[in-house]
Amino acid sequence: MKACKPALESNYITKVIHDCKRDSEALYFQFGIRLHNVVDTQIAYSLIEEQEGRRRPLDDYISFVSLLADPRYCGISYEEKEEVRVLMRQDPKFWTYRPMTELMIRAAADDVRFLLYLYHKMMGKLNQRSLWHLAVRGALYCRCLCCMNDADFADWPAVPPIPDNLKSEDECLEEEILSVLHVPPGKMGRVIGRKGSSILAIKEACNAEILIGGAKGPPDKIFVIGPVKEVRKAEAILRGRMIDY
């Protein structure tokens, strides 16, 4: 991993990943690696859908299995992935065993061997506006579960600014940011609501993505990603849910 660090942090080498958030979180906390210059195929898919008039909710993520099955991209079945998921749920230490079984090797290889094909297929579909969004959201996704407060942002590379040609073409285009909110003890349930009703209502009211650390990440943090005005709106609503009356 020490040998991989320069490439993973490089601004000149593109890393292609499907849903980079948890991978970036693991690299950062286990190895001190700040993943950078990522093309996230999950984000790219949503942007292409939006371009073609099929806008998806911000948190309606496509799984890697579903993306591979989409005939516009690969059109292949990846049923073995579900088999591995079942084994992982049964035994969280599944990936620690050595020697690796043939199933483990196939699953690890299949998780990456289609990514470059998807990358080239998707990059040909994205317009200039979407390419900028892809770069920005990739950068924000990489750090969203790693920054415990706004001060941590200084340790990461700068987010790509709006290109000059897009500023002149699209006056409505707005910078996108990441905000980290600390939730006081005992207040997360109020923020989420019964069966997620409260957090769902907040997501519907704001054009911003809201991520909760939860069991796999910082349990007392909420991460908000989106255009500046929408993020500030989401912050205000979330803070209101934490207030005792």
pTM for the whole thing?
Answer: 0.90
Averaged confidence pLDDT in the chain: 89
Which residue segments constitute the domains of the chain, with CATH numbers given?
4-162 (3.30.420.10), 174-244 (3.30.1370.10)
> Tell me: the pLDDT tens digits for 153-200?
888 999 999 888 887 776 678 899 999 999 988 888 888 888 888 888
Q: In whole angstroms, how far apart are CA 151 and each of 11, 84, 176, 201? A: 22, 38, 17, 29
DSSP letter assigned to residue 101: P
C-alpha span between 185 and 161 (Å, rounded): 36
| Residue of 229, 166, 202, 170 lying closest to 57 (CA atoms) | 202
Confidence tier at 244 by pLDDT (50, 70, 90): low
C-alpha span between 21 and 5 (Å, rounded): 17
Element (H, E) at 135: helix 128-144
